[in-house]
Amino acid sequence: MSTEPDKLESFVNRRYEHGFITDIDADSLPPGLDEGVVRAISARKNEPEFMLEWRLRAYRHWRQLEEPTWAHVHYPRIDYEAISYFSAPKSDKDRPKSLDEVDPKLLETYDKLGIPLHERARLAGVAVDAVFDSVSVATTFKEKLSEAGVIFCSFSDAVINHPDLVKKYLGSVVPQRDNFFASLNSAVFSDGSFVYIPKGVRCPMELSTYFRINAANTGQFERTLIIADEGSHVSYLEGCTAPMRDENQLHAAVVELVALKDAEIKYSTVQNWYPGDENGVGGIYNFVTKRGDCRGANSKISWTQVETGSAITWKYPSCILRGENSVGEFYSVAVANNYQQADTGTKMIHIGRNTRSTIVSKGISAGHAQNAYRGLVRIMPQAHGARNHTQCDSLLIGKACGAHTFPYIEVRNPSAKVEHEATTSKISADQLFYCRQRGISEEDAVNMIVNGFCKEVFKELPMEFAVEAQALLNVSLEGAVG
């Protein structure tokens, strides 16, 4: 087998050497966090008073909290006073002018991933306007959305232009006091997306952060709020399959979803932040709080995630199934290679009658990585007729990695039916030999087996995304067998 270091990652390191990520802009706050910083962030964004007050309440609470230690991940203590909590987006003059100026290895990776040409430029940080007219593309979409009455804008815009909706729903699913990282996010969140789908509207297209202008540099403390009003439907895509760079090591995003009566939200994520090098140096710490509230009867929230990036992933997209007959779904593929650590899963809280949830989690561990599924299924006493089915599978590649499952099942209603199944297996030498005897390379055989293992989740992704995700998985596991 190939003993070459993982190509993707070696290129990533080189980029650092090249100093692609440049000096810190002048327009950023000095490291450290106090009330003054929170006020400064709010002021710079011209936020109304209510937003500042909201941030300050979160900040004061955060100060009293301890960083949680229960997850199956290990990392050096984070110094929250050493982090800079605000920096303005980079200006175009510091960016590559065209793809010709971009490291050819990066382009090779994009090629492997099958990323469309026009998208590569944006991903590589090329000043977008120089490459293609994103404004006109965005304008077309904007027109279509506004015809339908859909609001899709940056969080900052929403605070200014739709304060009533923000006031009503912000923090209503993930309160400021929810947990350490959610509190931190609530105090200092930079920007993110805001979506409102009016009553009875089926959003005419899949919404993606890609189509939102001014989306740059919202990665660190992103805040997303999606509200699907009665009878509406929306599919939202977050992230992309190409490797995403960020100079900020700590990420603490919050996503809140609200589905009212008969509404449906489908939220798909591909997370591919820099995972660190093959020796576990560097990489993003990704501490995310995602939660959906099926507030109305017959509502549905479906989470699909493909997690391949980040040095540390701490993430549990959850559903609160409040409305009668509401449905929660969680489909996840989590890949951890080299020294990555992932602790991810979901919570399904059944409150309403006849609520149903499905959990399908596929964890793949390779190299020295540790990959844990952590999940909670709770059936409350009033949730008559609740149903849950959980399938939780782990695949091990190599001797030095770990695969763990920590499911919590709490049932307080005798009419509930809960089933949990889990398996752990490895890619066997026999399987590989069989494939090779049929003329398939070992690398291809591994890819085939892994993709087969993840099929159930990929089929939940929007078509184009699914193809990319498959390619991404192959790249992420390059060099894993050997």
Our finding on whether 1 is near other proteins (CB under 8 A) is no
DSSP secondary structure of 222-277: -EEEEEE-TT-EEEEEEE-SS-B--S-SEE--EEEEEE-TT-EEEEEEEE-B----
Our finding on whether 237 is near other proteins (CB under 8 A) is no
SS3 assignment, position 210? helix
Q: Crossing angle, helix 442-458 and helix 463-476, to 10 degrees? A: 140
Our finding on whether 70 is near other proteins (CB under 8 A) is yes
Name which of 44, 25, 21 is nearest 90 in CA terms: 25
C-beta of 374: minimal distance to other proteins in Å?
10
Stretch 245-284: interaction string toward other proteins, x if CB under 8 A: ----------------------------------------
Residue of 423, 433, 441, 464 interacting with other proteins (CB under 8 A): 423
Our finding on whether 420 is near other proteins (CB under 8 A) is yes
Residue number, 44 or 417, with CB nearest to other proteins? 417
Helix (H) or strand (E) holding 140: helix 134-148
C-beta of 402: minimal distance to other proteins in Å?
5
Our finding on whether 397 is near other proteins (CB under 8 A) is yes
Our finding on whether 369 is near other proteins (CB under 8 A) is no
Residue of 227, 396, 435, 466 interacting with other proteins (CB under 8 A): 396
Whether the Cβ atoms of residue 155 and residue 51 lie closer than 8 Å to each other: no
Our finding on whether 421 is near other proteins (CB under 8 A) is yes
Phi/psi at 313 (5° precision): -120, 130
Residue of 165, 297, 409, 449 interacting with other proteins (CB under 8 A): 409
Name which of 345, 319, 320 is nearest 331 in CA terms: 345
Residue number, 95 or 368, with CB nearest to other proteins? 368
C-beta of 424: minimal distance to other proteins in Å?
4
Give the binding-site size for other proteins (rule: CB under 8 A): 34
Residues with Cβ within 8 Å of residue 190, at least 6 apart in sequence? 41, 86, 217, 218, 220, 221, 222, 223
Largest CA distance in the chain: 69
* Per-residue buried b or exposed e for 155-179, using 16+ beta carbons within 10 Å of the residue's own CB: bbbbbeeeeebbeebbbebbbbbbb
Residue number, 410 or 464, with CB nearest to other proteins? 410
Q: Which two structure tokens, joined as six digits, stand for 203?
A: 């959003």
Our finding on whether 17 is near other proteins (CB under 8 A) is no
C-beta of 401: minimal distance to other proteins in Å?
7
Going from the C-alpha of 355 to that of each of 15, 140, 320, the distances in angstroms are 49, 39, 10
Our finding on whether 414 is near other proteins (CB under 8 A) is yes
Residue of 87, 217, 424, 431 interacting with other proteins (CB under 8 A): 424
d(CA 416, CA 419): 10
Residue number, 60 or 389, with CB nearest to other proteins? 389
Our finding on whether 360 is near other proteins (CB under 8 A) is no
Residue number, 18 or 399, with CB nearest to other proteins? 399
Q: Which stretch binds other proteins (CB under 8 A): 46-54, 244-252, 351-359, 410-418?
A: 410-418
Our finding on whether 445 is near other proteins (CB under 8 A) is no
SS3 assignment, position 283? coil
Q: Which stretch binds other proteins (CB under 8 A): 231-239, 289-297, 336-344, 407-415?
A: 407-415
- Other beta carbons within 10 angstroms of residue 446's beta carbon come to 23
Residue of 96, 125, 407, 462 interacting with other proteins (CB under 8 A): 407
Whether the Cβ atoms of residue 252 and residue 279 lie closer than 8 Å to each other: no
Going from the C-alpha of 319 to that of each of 17, 206, 350, the distances in angstroms are 43, 21, 8
Sites for other proteins among residues 80-109 (CB under 8 A): none
Our finding on whether 480 is near other proteins (CB under 8 A) is no
C-beta of 421: minimal distance to other proteins in Å?
5
Our finding on whether 381 is near other proteins (CB under 8 A) is yes
Residues that bind other proteins (CB under 8 A): 70, 381, 394, 396-426
